[in-house]
Amino acid sequence: CERQDGKPFRQRLLVVANRLPVSAIRRGEDSWSLEISAGGLVTALLGVKEFETRWIGWAGVNVPDEIGQKALTKALAEKRCIPVFLDEEIVHQYYNGYCNNILWPLFHYLGLPQEDRLATTRSFQSQFAAYKKANQMFADVVNKHYEEGDVVWCHDYHLMFLPKCLKDYNSKMKVGWFLHTPFPSSEIHRTLPSRSELLHSVLAADLVGFHTYDYARHFVSACTRILGLEGTPEGVEDQGRLTRVAAFPIGIDSDRFRCALELPQVQDHIRELQERFKGRKVMLGVDRLDMIKGIPQKILAFEKFLEENACWRDKVVLLQIAVPTRTDVPEYQKLTSQVHEIVGRINGRFGTLTAVPIHHLDRSLDFQKLCALYAVTDVALVTSLRDGMNLVSYEFVACQEKKKGVLILSEFAGAAQSLGAGAILVNPWNITEVAAAIAQALNMSSGEREKRHKHNYVHVTTHTAQEWAETFVSELNDTVVEAQLRTRQ
């Protein structure tokens, strides 16, 4: 195998994530069509040129029959993807249950489910069993495809049990694990019934990475306080073996945004939007419709701003683009109705016959339209209640070289650590504070905007996704493969 520049690859990189970067649609008994979903991780890893990357993960569909599985495996192989087949029951218990109902809210400080405590406890046990079983199924596939010298990079909260399963197969396998969400304070993590088992499994990895130094510190504290292990400046030590723990803040492929803005069709979109919102300042929110993103709080803050600043009422518009996710979960359905209800009320209250203050779209936008929107925005509002990093804030900055708009950013997003000096930082729970930040952003002088934008732009264009992936993989490569026996002083 050779790289595009003709040189041999340095190594094979097996990237293991819950979902493969493709969506599979069945066209017949043995035929499939595949659509690449270019998420942040895919773009990041495209930049890792020295490694020959293979993806291992679930294709997002239930394929109970052997003919279908064989055909899908073959089709995916052309995209360098290897499927893990999970049946409906496992998906229900592992993915919808343990991952999305337990770990996701807990890691974002929303606590464990509380409705029916007894039922939750009972289902908790079966969901955790399914989680372990699913992680073992991922390990079986990795082990089958592993060749000596490969590096294995496991991603996210879905696969916390995987490092241990892999090391049980082969202690010499080089294994890294990266968490895309926050890792909460150890006091939150200790409420999880399976707290110790999960920490021990993650510690089986050679390198454990987080977006920020704070998340890494919380993880080390959880290991010292809950497991009684020793935390060192490099990581966590267990019986002489060191697991390296560090922060690797993700970035974006900023060139992709810069190049898109030069395309004639994107320039056309920009002109259309400028014409459409002529005479009004544009504020923008782009989020998955998830409770962690703080969408209702953001809209209520905008209402408060309109209440307190009558002179701005017909001079500003909020565009909120929210992609629906987990639409079958009642809590998410409730969130959608809540957002619709608030938007309707505010538009009824402050709208006129010719203009409404909030345009809310329940859908995903294609990449070029998204770039155009970022480029015409005066103020971006990222008010996550908690967020591992938040790439929307980075994407907005990358598209603002001309306009130099203002970013209002939640102090609870990982991005606050990197873009904090250029953004206006807010506590998203404090609606009065966010309303005041909106007024500050809209009234900011151009000199101040330029200074703040420059700070963020330099960061976004130098700390890219490619650099993130390369740093993680080369650090993983540098960790000593064998258990590191250190003599305690």
Q: Tell me the CA distances in angstroms from 433 to 349, 429, 449, one per residue in order.
A: 22, 9, 19
Tokens linked to 39: 């998420």
Q: Rounded to 5, what percent of the chain is helix, strand, coil?
A: 50, 20, 30
Q: Is 82 in the site for ligand ADQ (CB under 6 A)?
A: no
Residue 286 binds to ligand ADQ (criterion: CB under 6 A): yes
Q: Whose Cβ is closer to ligand ADQ: residue 137's or residue 318's?
A: 318
Asked if 247 touches ligand ADQ (CB under 6 A), the answer is no
Binding ligand ADQ (rule: CB under 6 A), the pick from 59, 154, 370, 434 is 370
User: What mask, x for binding ligand ADQ by CB under 6 A, covers residues 22 to 51?
Assistant: ------------------x-----------
Residues 250-269 binding ligand ADQ (CB under 6 A) are 250
309 binds ligand ADQ (CB under 6 A): no
* Smallest separation, CB 162 to ligand ADQ (Å): 18
Q: How would DSSP label each residue in 428-464?
A: TT-HHHHHHHHHHHHT--HHHHHHHHHHHHHHHHHS-
- Sheet hosting strand 406-410, strand order edge to edge: 358-361, 316-324, 281-289, 379-382, 406-410, 424-426
**In whole angstroms, how close is the CB of 294 to ligand ADQ at the nearest point?**
12
**CA 192, 196, 200: angle at the middle one, nearest 5?**
135
DSSP character string of 88-105: HHHIIIIIIIIIIIIIHH
DSSP state of 310: G
Nearest approach, Cβ of residue 212 and ligand ADQ (Å): 10
Burial class (CB within 10 angstroms; exposed 0-12, middle 13-18, buried 19+) of 446: exposed
Least separation in angstroms between CB 108 and ligand ADQ: 8
Part of the chain binding ligand ADQ (CB under 6 A), chosen from 30-38, 144-152, 286-294, 348-356: 286-294
Say how far apart CA 188 and CA 184 lie, in whole Å: 6
Residue at 289: amino acid letter: L
Amino acid 154 reads C
- Other beta carbons within 10 Å of 23: 14
Question: How many Cβ atoms are within 10 Å of 67's Cβ, its own excluded?
Answer: 11
Q: Which of 288, 304, 326, 403 binds ligand ADQ (CB under 6 A)?
A: 288
Least distance in Å: CB of 229 to ligand ADQ? 27
Q: Which stretch binds ligand ADQ (CB under 6 A): 45-53, 136-144, 232-240, 280-288?
A: 280-288
How many residues form the binding site for ligand ADQ (CB under 6 A)?
Answer: 19
Residues from 350 through 369 that contact ligand ADQ (CB under 6 A): 364-365
Rounded least distance, CB 374 to ligand ADQ, Å: 9
Nearest approach, Cβ of residue 156 and ligand ADQ (Å): 8
Distance CA 84, CA 25 (A): 16
Binding-residue pattern over the window 373 to 392 for ligand ADQ, x denoting contact by CB under 6 A: --------------xxxxxx
Q: State in angstroms the smallest separation of the CB of 480 from ligand ADQ.
A: 27
| One-character DSSP codes across 360-400 | EE-S---HHHHHHHHHH-SEEEE--SSBSS-HHHHHHHHT-
Phi, psi of 130 (to 5 degrees): -65, -35
Minimum distance of ligand ADQ from residue 41's CB (angstroms): 7
**Binding-site member from 203, 395, 396, 449 for ligand ADQ (CB under 6 A):** 395
Shortest Å, Cβ 292 to ligand ADQ: 7
Residue given tokens 């966010």 in the structure block: 434
Q: For 282, phi and psi rounded to 5 degrees?
A: -105, 125
Which residue, 357 or 388, is less far from ligand ADQ as judged by CB? 388
Q: Are 200 and 227 in contact (CB under 8 A)?
A: yes
Rounded distance, CA 72 to CA 411, Å?
43
The yes or no reply on residue 287 touching ligand ADQ (CB under 6 A) is yes
Among 180, 189, 218, 452, binds ligand ADQ (CB under 6 A): 180
Write the burial class of residue 118 (CB in 10 Å: 0-12 exposed, 13-18 middle, 19+ buried).
exposed
Contacting ligand ADQ within 311-330 (CB under 6 A): 321, 323
Summarize as ranges the residues that interact with ligand ADQ (CB under 6 A).
Answer: 40, 180-181, 250, 286-288, 321, 323, 364-365, 370, 387-392, 395
